[in-house]
Amino acid sequence: MTIAVLDLEKARLPTADPVSVASQVDVAADVWFASNARRTDRQFAVLMVFQWLASIALTYWFTPRTWAGAASSPSPHLAFAIFLGGIISFAPILMAWKLPGRRLTRHVIAVGQMSMSTLMIHLSGGRIEMHFHIFGSLAFLALYLDWTVLITASLVVLLDHGLGTFLWPDAVFGAGNSEPWRWLEHACWIVFCDIFLIYSCIARVRSIRVIATQQVDQAILLRQAYTDALTALPNRLRFQKDLELSLHQAKPAGCSGFALLYVDLDRFKEVNDAYGHTIGDHVLVAVAERLSQEAEGNAGFARIGGDEFVSICPRTSSGLEPIAERAGEILRRLLMPIEVDGLAIQIGASIGISLYPEDGASEDELLSRADQAMYTMKRKGRRGFVFSGGIMESRAEDRTEGEERLRRAIQSRDFIIHYQPLLSRNGTIDGLEALARWPAPGGGFVCSPGEFIALAEETGLIVDLGKLVLDQVCEQVAAWHTRGIDFREVAINLSPRQLEQGDFPAILDETLKRFGVHPEWITFEITESAYVPDDRVLEAGLEALRTRGIKVSIDDFGTGYSSLGRLQTLTFNTLKIDQIFISGLGQSEAALGMVRAIINLAHLLGMSVVGEGVENSRQARILRELGCDHLQGHYFSRALPVEAIQEFILQHSAQAERRSAGSNQKGWRPAELEQIERRAVATGVADMIVAFKAGQRDLGAWPVSRL
């Protein structure tokens, strides 16, 4: 007996819970029954065709003609066999052909088959041997394993005999034996046969369900052996088999080989730490879904580690472009925020790609090379992909082109600086963070800061870019100072590569001097997770800055791998908590605990604390309550161009003045004014602010709807 085996690829059985197993047993059994019904329908269709022809032959053999003296004519039995046999057989054959597997079909077949049996008894002259046809038909109908079909068949026979007994009792049971008990005896034999067959059917159905259960169990075990329980993606074991198969298939000469994509999520550990493992698991499931969607039409992904996914990508004659495009598409999908329990978690990925046969001929070699390439990408700034060492040409072309554009942009000073304010707990401006932007000629930007900074880091252009940013910021700071705009201090992101340059202190001195910028106006921010080959280099660079009176912040704190160790060995003035922790405030006890601990730790070490990425009032309130010294984020202001940030600074200065005055002409309370101004900024009612600044302090003149 064969039961339809579950399709492990399509069946989704992430857990072996009883309900799921039971439903899968039902599915497997139903599939088998449907298949059995269709098969039996076909068999009956064939049987009925031959049966019909046999009944004609039988009639021709028994009664070809009917006689009246010496004259004869074809026997009406022949007509009955041809036409009535045809009518009987037509519908079951048609339904078995057109509607196989349907319940109605098998009942029609049952009626047809039993009618045919009765007809053949008539055509054979009621021969007792022909009555076995009825029992044979019942046995054949039992193949459906549907007891209702046997009931239908029996009803047809009993109806025929019942009517016969009622209308022509002598004909059916003979004159002397036509008592009711004889009819009952006749019926009892049919019922006996039915009971036997029905019992057989039920026993067989039970055995099929037992086998189905065993098969489902086996399927679950197989699935668990080859599937990742969390994401339902293939696991490492399955991937190894697939990889082995791919290698085996790719061995023959002429095959273009394949690429191994090794995807590792960026900063997934921080997500787990900040939000807990439950949220982390949800993120992984979401990532797996995205990868599966991306993989439609391509080779699928397997999860081989905590946040590590791999895929085998066949190579074509088009070179490496399709693989690079696919890697880019994966990155694009993974960069989109993931919604989990109301949280919007942004997570990127680094992809390392190894190629068969260039990077190795064994599973271990290919995996190892892809892994190494992935870590290279991590070191180079993450959120990108890189081919393993041997074959970088294709990627290098792209990089070279991008590098050339970046170099030209730096030379022609195409970059502009946007500034994002840092506010104190009281809402006053404590400083600005300078952020480089690469504007496109027609509006918008050439690419995101993450992309061109990663490219600059990789190509070493970060040194020139950093120099340009330093120039532009110092120039702007000097201008603001001249105009009396109180910006407090401006934070500039500093790459460890710049610190590695021996002439950086000299360049810094020259720049500050050239623009007349006081070192106290400048702060440098170093990303905590930045790749620094040797902490001693970093320490020396920091020391050089400190001796000039320049403050240093550690940026994106909590996202690196040696945070506490660096805090112990290196000295920073400010610690900036990464937004990944801030976004969990108010939603996750773990995030709250982490932020509280970081703030306390920073204060204990004598550092001030900046909360980055504040998105809403709730986060701002919690940070204030936790004692965070400075706040930064879109809730207050996004990074603004120079003109806009000047307006922002002036506006806040005016606000501070009013706050110090404690009242205003219209009698607005400071909190009300702050709310109005924040709305004005958020809704872009710049003219209101200008008017307000220009002296039209009576806000009552403005339509309330605009507020």
Q: ω before 357 within 30° of 0 (cis)?
A: yes
CB of 60 to another protein, least distance (A): 11
Q: Which residue in 362, 305, 353 sits closest to 327, CA to CA?
A: 353
CB of 61 to another protein, least distance (A): 9
How far apart are alpha carbons 635 and 582 in whole angstroms? Answer: 12
Spatial strand order of the sheet with 349-356 comes to: 301-303, 308-314, 258-265, 349-356, 385-387
Whether residue 53 contacts residue 46, with contact meaning beta carbons closer than 8 Å, is answered with no
Q: Which is nearer to another protein, 19 or 68 (CB)?
A: 68
Tell me the pairing of strands 630-631 and 71-74: unpaired
**Which residues, in sequence order, are CB contacts of 43 under 8 Å at separation 6+?**
143
| Alpha carbons within 13 A on the beta-carbon side of 336 | 11
How far apart are alpha carbons 596 and 602 in whole angstroms? Answer: 10
CB of 171 to another protein, least distance (A): 4
Q: Which is nearer to another protein, 39 or 182 (CB)?
A: 182
CB of 69 to another protein, least distance (A): 4
Q: Which is nearer to another protein, 75 or 420 (CB)?
A: 75
Q: Which is nearer to another protein, 95 or 673 (CB)?
A: 95
Q: Which is nearer to another protein, 68 or 671 (CB)?
A: 68
CB of 99 to another protein, least distance (A): 7
Report residue 27 as tokens: 């599915």
How far apart are alpha carbons 568 and 83 in whole angstroms? Answer: 102
CB of 18 to another protein, least distance (A): 36
CB of 193 to another protein, least distance (A): 20
DSSP 81: I
Q: Which residue type does 79 have? A: A
For residue 73, the cross-strand partners are: 66
Report residue 598 as tokens: 């970081």
CB of 329 to another protein, least distance (A): 44
Q: Which residue in 96, 88, 120, 87 sits closest to 43, CA to CA?
A: 96
Q: Which is nearer to another protein, 104 or 604 (CB)?
A: 104
Q: Which is nearer to another protein, 99 or 211 (CB)?
A: 99
How far apart are alpha carbons 369 and 74 in whole angstroms? Answer: 89
Q: 549 — phi, psi (to 5°)?
A: 80, 20
Q: Which is nearer to another protein, 116 or 287 (CB)?
A: 116
Q: Which is nearer to another protein, 125 or 565 (CB)?
A: 125
How far apart are alpha carbons 381 and 19 in whole angstroms? Answer: 47
DSSP 227: B
CB of 64 to another protein, least distance (A): 8
Kindly list the residues in this chain that would bind another protein in the complex (CB under 8 A): 62-63, 65-72, 76, 80, 83-84, 87-88, 90-91, 95, 99, 104, 108, 111, 115, 119, 122, 125-128, 160, 168, 170-177
How far apart are alpha carbons 682 and 702 in whole angstroms? Answer: 17
CB of 138 to another protein, least distance (A): 19
Burial class from Cβ neighbours inside 10 Å (0-12, 13-18, 19+) for residue 376 reads middle
Q: Which is nearer to another protein, 122 or 488 (CB)?
A: 122
